[in-house]
A and B are shown apart, each in its own frame.
Chain A
Amino acid sequence: MSKPTSPRIWQLAERRYRLIGTKCKNCGKSFISPRKICPNCKSMDLEDILLPRKGKIYSYTIINALPSERENYGPYIMAIVELENGCKLTAEIVDCKIEDLKIGMPVELTFRKIGEESESGIIYYGYKFRPIS
């Protein structure tokens, strides 16, 4: 019901595929989402950057009550990951045993399928993170 449609996927596809974020040239803070104004220092001098591909788990949860897009999947791990430059983002953690999860655990980016529009529609991709082996 809330599945994104093709235009909405395309608008952000490159950012999600390549982990492009924005960085404030004035204060140095970076953000996962595209921004024109820095919420930290109010500067309008921001640029797109490739974000670091490694980070650590800041907090995590295991989702057992599934939203409608995920009703055919089992429980999955979601986390806030803090990248090496301090930028935080929300992502699924994969290839990880639940008993190994802990705050501070090092993780790295992996490119995965996120979902699909419908059986005949487009498949959409993006980042997930996995423990650094």
Chain B
Amino acid sequence: MRDVAIIGVGMSKFGELWDKQLRDIFIEAAIEAINDCKIDLKDIQALFIGNYSAGTWVQQEHLGPLLVDYLGISPKPAMRIESACASSGAAFYIAYMAIASGLYDIVMVGGVEKMTDVPTEDSTTFLASAADREWEAFFGMTFPGLFALMARRHMYQYGTKREQLAMVSVKNHKNGSKNPKAQFQREVTIDEVLNSPIVADPLTLLDCSPISDGAAACILCSSDIAKKYTDTPIYVLGSGQGTDTIALHDREDITIMKSTIEASRKAYSFAHLEPKDIDVAEVHDCFTIAEIIEYEDLGFCKKGEGGKMIENGETEIGGRIPINTSGGLKSKGHPVGATGVAQVCEIVYQLRGEAGKRQVSNAEIGLTHNIGGSGSSCYVHIFGRKKR
């Protein structure tokens, strides 16, 4: 396998982009990534695009040819990859393999979702498709509902406090207030989180990531040609994937995501690194409880101690391991199919030292963690300023 580097990244603004179409948003992110490394479009050999459900949100399938056409490089290969909210984490995984294997030298990987063209209750219905349609959604289960079940059980088994969940939201909004591309650029207090409308008890509106539009793009190449395009290539050190049951009720313990454990252990061993080596991470905080469970399953703390970890401030910028410096899905926004690649963008900014007011000092190694469904699929990637 060849080493792979990221040479260019780009993101659209995340938010309610009512005046733009899915293709506009994607091309905006793609052009930013192209300009970032000043690459000639002709050098891009393929496009891998992560998207969860454009067919239901904007009634447009077949995004491979649509977006490669608008990118101006048709008839080159293009494919759309779906893995619920981990769609572009999956697309990144495949783009990485395509270069590592030697099949291509330079590719673009992107993610896009346009979710605000329909009423919220329709989005809630579409998102429930990431769970088991026949044995969960059929009976009335929603996506926030699944994470609420995890939250209640985590509180029951480990004594995790409601306030500790709220602290995840407070931290991520604080970080998001420093990110000009975030959907919400304002801070919130613990009381605001606790007193916002209940979505699925015990989770309130401010425990949940929003419904968003947005896109992100990265340009990957074989590491031996990376310096041709940029002085600061960021190297992919490790990559891993794992799965868990599609239905939450089929798990022995719903406070553990086996997909995260499997994906992260693969990625750590691939990179010859351990959890303690990670300087900065973007993790999948679709709901506040998810971030707490991920601290544990990624190995950043012991099982059951995620609540204490947020309470002690260990994951703030300046803390032991800053997490979700971008604002996370909670504050930056969660256009589901775009999230995995947007996480990669933030880690690239951090490792290059380009994260502005939210910069973590001396970040050498970064990690992204992206899940689909109730943790039914998971992609973990590890990045570094230096080659392995």
Residue positions of A touching B, CB distance < 8 A: 1-2, 4, 8, 12, 31-33, 39, 58-71, 76, 78-80, 88-92, 103, 114, 126, 128
Contacts and interface: CB of A to CB of B under 8 A. Distances in A.
Contact of B142 (A31, A58, A59, A65): A65
Contact of A68 (B124, B245, B247): B124
B121 interface: yes
A103 B145 contact: no
Nearest to B245: A39
Interface centre among B138, B140, B148, B149 (most CB of A within 10 A): B140
A61 B200 contact: yes
A17 to B, nearest CB: 13
A33 B141 CA distance: 16
A31 B119 CA distance: 35
Interface string B68-94: 000000000000000000000000000
Nearest to A33: B135
Given A32-B249, A80-B254, A103-B152, A67 B198 contact: no
B136 interface: yes
Contacts of B135: 32-33, 89-90
A62 B254 contact: no
Q: Which 7 A-B pairs have the closest CB atoms?
A: A61-B148, A62-B201, A88-B249, A59-B153, A59-B149, A68-B121, A67-B125
A71 B133 CA distance: 18
Contacts of B199: 64-65
A65 B200 contact: yes
Nearest to B144: A65
B126 A33 contact: no
Interface string B297-333: 0000000000000000000000000000000000000
B247 A1 contact: no
B125 A90 contact: no
A69 B125 contact: yes
B232 interface: no
Contacts of B56: 1
A89 B249 contact: yes
A90 B200 contact: no
B248 interface: yes
B140 A92 contact: yes
Contacts of B128: 2, 67
Interface string B115-157: 0000111101110110011111111111011001110110010
A90 B168 CA distance: 28
Contacts of A89: 135, 249
Contacts of B142: 63, 65-67, 78
Nearest to B198: A64
B131 to A, nearest CB: 9
A107 B330 CA distance: 35
B180 interface: no
Contact of B139 (A1, A59, A90): A90
A60 B155 CA distance: 12
B250 A103 contact: no
Interface string B55-67: 0100000000000
Contact of A65 (B124, B134, B149): B124
A43 to B, nearest CB: 16
B197 interface: yes
Interface string B155-189: 01000000000000000000000000000000000
A90 B152 contact: no
Contacts of A68: 119, 121-122, 124-125
Nearest to B129: A2
Interface in B216-261: 245, 247-250, 254
Contacts of A80: 149, 248-249, 254
B353 to A, nearest CB: 40
B121 A90 contact: no
A114 B139 contact: yes
A78 B140 contact: yes
Given A61-B152, A64-B199, A31 B250 contact: yes
B120 A90 contact: no
A61 B145 contact: yes
18 contacts: A2-B137, A31-B250, A33-B134, A33-B250, A59-B152, A62-B198, A62-B201, A63-B145, A64-B197, A64-B201, A68-B122, A78-B142, A80-B149, A80-B249, A88-B250, A89-B135, A90-B247, A128-B139
Given A32-B135, A67-B125, A92-B140, A62 B149 contact: no
Given A2-B129, A89-B135, A59 B140 contact: no
